[in-house]
């Protein structure tokens, strides 16, 4: 019987190159799985097709204050909070942490009731009658809803905008927080009076909507 051919011994450089290639393959596979998971778990939603809009829209760019109907809306500042800057043990809802690719856009707003009566401003929960939608136009047209107020407080360290009707002449300030991919641009905050369930746009609210375009700091 002929002896088996001995396997050639690899040099240190060859072993290093093989280990490097293996690490590249593992890292690349992990990133591919992460990207695929983000696509499955976090689909941007088309703003035009999903968000019902009144026929009248008041549009401007921050730092201006816009008045529309009985609503007056101002955007004081907007800043990013990186997800990896938050404590690892911070408890957040799935809505606030849908995947590891999102960061948090903290938007501080002020809303004033310009009318003579109470003005609806319930934007969270079962009694929602106003929507604060964050839209982006780049790289695709998409929108996001604010995270729950408890999450907003934990993420920003600031007081969230209180949900509930405004008294005549009342001025209310607070933050709204959105879980959003940081590469999105063409940002605008929309205040939209909500429609009754199943109501077509021509039977929607008489109050016009507000679109306030802005660029966050940093």
| C-alpha–C-alpha distance, residues 142 and 47, integer Å | 5
Q: Count the alpha carbons within 13 Å of 28 in the hemisphere toward its beta carbon.
A: 6
| C-alpha–C-alpha distance, residues 72 and 208, integer Å | 11
Higher pLDDT, 99 or 175: 175
Q: What pLDDT score was predicted for residue 127?
A: 73
Q: What pLDDT score was predicted for residue 5?
A: 55
CATH hierarchy code of domain 47-213: 2.60.40.1240
Q: What is the pLDDT averaged over residues 73-94?
A: 94
Q: Which residue reads 């109050």 in tokens?
A: 207
pLDDT averaged over every residue in the chain: 82
Q: Is the pTM of this model over 0.85?
A: no
Domain ranges of the chain: 11-41, 47-213
- Tens digits of per-residue pLDDT, 149-184? 999 999 999 999 999 999 999 999 999 999 999 999
Higher pLDDT, 40 or 119: 119
Higher pLDDT, 216 or 39: 216
Alpha-carbon dihedral 38, 101, 156, 120, rounded to 10 degrees? -40
8 Å CB contact between 176 and 146 = yes
Under DSSP, the state recorded for 11 is P
Query: β-strand 57-61 against 209-213: which pairing, if any?
Result: parallel
Q: What is the pLDDT averaged over residues 27-36?
A: 61
| C-alpha–C-alpha distance, residues 103 and 139, integer Å | 17
**Is residue 95 scored above 60 in pLDDT?**
yes
3-state helix, strand, coil in the chain (%, to 5): 20, 30, 45
- Tens digits of per-residue pLDDT, 42-62? 444 444 435 666 668 899 999
Tokens representing 57 are: 């829209």
Q: Which of 14-18, 83-87, 199-203 has the lowest mean pLDDT?
A: 199-203
């Amino acid at each position: 019987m002929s002896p088996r051919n001995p396997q050639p011994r690899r040099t240190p450089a060859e072993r290093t190159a093989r280990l490097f290639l293996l690490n590249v393959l593992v890292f690349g596979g992990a990133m591919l799985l992460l990207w695929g998971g983000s696509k499955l778990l976090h689909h941007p939603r088309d703003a035009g097709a999903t968000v019902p809009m009144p026929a009248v829209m008041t549009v401007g760019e921050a730092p201006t204050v816009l008045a529309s109907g009985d609503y007056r809306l101002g955007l004081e500042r907007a800043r990013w909070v990186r997800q990896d800057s938050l404590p690892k043990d911070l408890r957040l809802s799935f809505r606030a942490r849908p995947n590891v690719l999102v960061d948090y856009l903290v938007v501080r707003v002020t809303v004033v009731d310009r009318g003579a009566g109470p003005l609806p401003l319930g934007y969270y929960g079962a009694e929602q009658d106003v929507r604060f939608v964050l839209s982006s136009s780049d790289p695709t047209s998409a929108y996001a809803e604010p995270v729950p107020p408890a999450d907003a407080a934990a993420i920003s360290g600031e007081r969230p905008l209180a949900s509930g009707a405004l008294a005549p002449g009342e001025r209310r300030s607070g933050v709204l927080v959105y879980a959003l991919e940081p590469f999105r641009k063409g940002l605008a905050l929309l205040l939209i009076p909500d429609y009754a369930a199943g109501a077509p746009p021509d039977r929607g609210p008489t109050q016009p909507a507000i679109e306030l375009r802005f660029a966050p700091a940093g």
